[in-house]
Structure 1
Amino acid sequence: MAEADDLLTALVDHVFALAGRFTEAGDAITGPEDLSAARWLVLGALQDGPLSPAEIARRRGVARQSIRESVARLERSGHLSRTDGTDQRTFLVALTSRGREALARIEPRRRAWAEETAAAVEVEALRDAVAVLARLRAS
């Protein structure tokens, strides 16, 4: 099992390094919209409909506090709005037209970056990587 332990440690090192690089890329992609990668993640989570900040945090695998901060900034900038939740303690957030329009303008830049970056690896290797990371995330 020592080999599996070493491999997992190496994988974690690469994931942390890539997370930083992906955040930098996300900031560059969203910069023209005066957004950050963190706020873009919130907007993207809302594409299929309203969610609570807690639901966004769970889906994105980040701390609720960072989502709350992003939600507050996105509300102030007009990219999203609050709606009533299931009880008085919760609320949902939803994209506004400004938020949807920002995502639409970001999408071509995201696609170009993804195509360029993915060209460094075979498609089958990417499929395998996604499957492995999904299994590890679920365990």
Structure 2
Amino acid sequence: MSDAGAGSERVRRDLLSATALGVFRLNGQFLAVSDELAAPAGLSAARWQVLGAVLREPLPVAGIARVMGITRQSVQRVADVLAGQGLAEYVPNPAHRRAKLLRPTDAGRAAVALIGPGHARLADRLAAELGDEGFAAVVLCLERLSDALGRISGEDPAP
């Protein structure tokens, strides 16, 4: 391999490392902010994440895990806690006898609604910091990165 080829290979490795470290830091920041936003509703970031995944339509635990990019086992634990608290419930799945669907209860929807004002304030603050176009560009960049990682790892694309 030429020196130029080795140099570009090193640059790519450094870019991957910097990307991973940035995403790990961002993940930690998002979890901390999400826990703060969810606290007034009596939720954690993980509980909010799972409830949020089923607000539009009930999903099986495996479907929630796929959409969120997390393990089925971790979703199952959180879903069971939510059901135990009366914030979500399992209902029959017409497509699969054993894999029940998770859906929010009225209490679960009310809890998520309590997060709305803080969520809106954070969105406004980020938009003020990044600008509307910059904020949209961040979303696009994260989606592109996620899609690319999914393609090269053989994952099904997220919905």
TM-score w.r.t. structure 2 length?
0.81
TM-aligned CA deviation for residue 120 of structure 1: 2.3
Match of 2:73 among 65, 88, 93: 65
Which residue does 1:96 correspond to in 2? 105
Displacement of 1:119? 2.5
Paired position in structure 1 for 2:146: 137
RMSD: 1.4
**Partner of 1:40 in structure 2?**
48
Equivalence for 1:14: 22
Gaps of 5+ in 1: none
Q: Does residue 105 of structure 1 match 2:114?
A: yes
* Distance of 1:65 and 1:101 partners within structure 2: 26
Q: Report the CA distance between 1:115 and its aligned residue.
A: 1.8
CA apart distance, 1:77: 0.7
Residue identity matched to 2:28: G
- CA distance in 1 between counterparts of 2:78 and 2:127 reads 28
Cα offsets for 1:24-67 (capped at 9, x unmatched):
11111111121100000011111111000111111111111110
Offset of residue 137 of structure 1: 1.0
Please, what TM-score do these two structures have when normalized by structure 1?
Answer: 0.92
Q: Which structure is larger by alpha-carbon Rg, 1 or 2?
A: 2
* Residue 134 of structure 1, CA deviation: 1.1
Number of residue pairs aligned between Structure 1 and Structure 2 = 139
SS at match of 1:89: strand
Structure 2 residue runs without a partner (length 5+) = 1-7, 149-159
